[in-house]
Amino acid sequence: MWSVARRPRWIAALVLALALAAGFAALSQWQLSRAVATGTIETRPTETVVPLDTIAKPQAPQLDDSDGQLVSVAGVWVPHDYVVLSTRLNHGASGFWVVGHFSAELNSGLRAGLPVAVGWAPTKKAATQAMDRLQASTVTTTAAFDGRYFVSEAPQDSDFEHGKLSTLNSGAMVNLWKTADGAGVYGGYLVAERPSAGLTKIYSPKPVSQVELNWLNIFYAAEWVVFAGFGIFLWYRLVRDAWEREQEEALEQAELHKSDDKLAEVN
């Protein structure tokens, strides 16, 4: 078959098929670029500070729209309800968070529990010392501050009550807090904009904008790839058909010669 494919006619056909495949591949690439260019960029005004109760409610499901939003909150710190979280990255370095129990004020006059990460430390000893200072100096006067609000992390699988606590989940915090809040607890947590004394500010950058691809363009791009492959396959099929026809014709000629030879012997 390849002896047929090497003939000038079929080499020219192969060049044409490859040119068509290259054109189809270029169109596929163009459609992919259009899928990104015409995609919808999901943007949220996360850098505008808003009151916490405008984006989240205690004892209510947390929506993704609230994740990463800068908020302001007022309330009081609950004494002796601080914990240390391990394995927390800050600019790529592993360390510890100090997390406090903040009782946020609501318009109803009640208060709702809110876990607040007040800072990062490179060692457990430094985090524990900072936590001890906070618990010793906590007062019950009203405090107000800003921070970035996040949806709770997944609950920790291990027994956090007797081991290391490494995830920040508001439901788990309720089990650790000694004091309950009248309005329940928020479904997320806050990273304080300003760290407490002796701690480093926790790196909490602006959420990355997500791009929703145009799937219609991606479908067209896949179609052009199929067309490119079909062009090469069509050339192969035509060459094979030509070779099979020649084989059939050669077989018919051989059969005809045999018949002529038998007829000559009879005569």
Judge whether 184 lies within some domain: yes
Residue 137 has pLDDT above 60, yes or no: yes
121 and 238: one domain? Answer: no
144 & 262 share domain: no
Same domain, 192 and 77: yes
Please check whether residues 124 and 190 belong to one and the same domain.
yes
> Which of 189, 208, 227 marks a domain boundary?
208
Higher-pLDDT residue of 18, 42: 18
Q: How many domains does the chain have?
A: 2
The answer to whether residue 43 sits within a structural domain is: no
Task: Looking at the structure, tell me whether residues 70 and 183 fall in a common domain.
Answer: yes
Residue 44 lies in a domain: no
86-126 pLDDT, tens digit per residue, is 999 999 999 999 999 999 999 888 999 999 999 999 999 99
89 in the same domain as 28: no
pLDDT value at residue 154: 86
Boundaries of domain holding 259: 2-38+213-266
The mean pLDDT of 62-88, rounded to a whole number, is 90
pLDDT in tens, 33-65: 777 666 555 567 888 999 999 999 999 887 777
Q: With a cut of 90, say whether residue 189 has pLDDT above it.
A: yes
pLDDT in tens, 245-264: 888 888 888 777 776 666 66
pTM of the model: 0.64
Tell whether 69 is covered by a domain.
yes
- Verify that 23 and 87 share a domain, yes or no: no
Task: Please report the DSSP string for the chain in residue order.
Answer: -HHHHTSHHHHHHHHHHHHHHHHHHHHHHHHHHHHHHTSEEE---TTS-EEGGGT--TTSPPPGGGTTEEEEEEEEEPTT--EEEEEEEETTEEEEEEEEEEEEE-TTS-EEEEEEEEEEESSHHHHHHHHHHHHHH---S-EEEEEEEEEPPPPPSS-TTTS------HHHHHHH-SS--TT-B-SEEEEESSPPTTSBPP--PPPPPEEE--HHHHHHHHHHHHHHHHHHHHHHHHHHHHHHHHHHHHHHHHHHHHHHHHHHHH-
